[in-house]
């Protein structure tokens, strides 16, 4: 999580208060130095920490579910499914067409792009054992291919 610039610095506290004791009394905190006081004042609140924990717990739950699905798939003995791997949300943004087994020609004509989409959809559709996430990303991939076809002036055959 990105941290914002500190709200309090030792220098700003020194400017705001005449003495270190005044600053400690104002905030009701114990500290041994101006910097220690600034650090305590800039520490995240309990609510911020609870929100971070909630976010992390949700991520853990999602990863555990994905891990369970991957283990179940691995148990079938079909081996590692590289295309299925690239269709997962956390990997999709880094993927290239080649990672999905899509030839460059599929971005030249609409009919070829649609044929590649259909080939992959038959395998990764939720009704055939794929994940909803994979199908959503496959639809995004089709839209990307069709956009490239359009940019290249591909023929809609």
Output 94 or 114, whichever has higher pLDDT: 114
* pTM (two decimals): 0.46
Residue, of 39 and 1, whose pLDDT is higher: 39
Q: What percent of the chain has pLDDT over 90?
A: 31
pLDDT at 34 over 70: yes
pLDDT in tens, 60-111: 898 888 777 766 766 666 566 667 766 666 666 667 777 778 887 778 888 8
Q: What is the rounded CA–CA span in Å between residue 3 and residue 44?
A: 10
Write the CA distances from 24 to 9, 32, 37, 46, integer angstroms. 14, 10, 7, 21
pLDDT (tens digit per residue) in 19-30: 999 999 999 999
Q: Is the pLDDT of residue 1 over 60?
A: no
How is the chain split into domains, by residue range?
10-42, 44-79, 81-157
* Averaged pLDDT for residues 129-152: 84
156: left (phi over 0), alpha (psi -120 to 50) or beta: beta
């Amino acid at each position: 999580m990105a941290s914002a610039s500190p709200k309090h610095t030792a220098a700003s506290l020194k400017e705001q208060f005449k003495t270190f004791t005044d600053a400690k009394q104002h905030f009701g905190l114990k500290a041994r130095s101006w910097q220690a006081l600034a650090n305590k004042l800039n520490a995240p609140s309990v609510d911020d920490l609870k929100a971070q924990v909630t976010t992390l717990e949700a991520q853990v739950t999602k990863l555990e579910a994905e891990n369970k699905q991957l283990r179940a798939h691995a148990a079938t003995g079909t081996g590692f499914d590289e295309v299925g791997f690239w269709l997962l949300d956390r990997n999709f943004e880094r993927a290239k067409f080649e990672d999905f087994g899509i030839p460059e020609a599929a971005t030249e004509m609409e009919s070829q792009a649609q044929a590649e989409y259909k080939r992959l959809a038959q395998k990764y559709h939720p009704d055939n054992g794929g994940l909803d996430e994979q199908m959503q990303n496959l639809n995004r991939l089709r839209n990307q291919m069709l956009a490239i076809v359009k940019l290249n002036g591909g023929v809609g055959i």
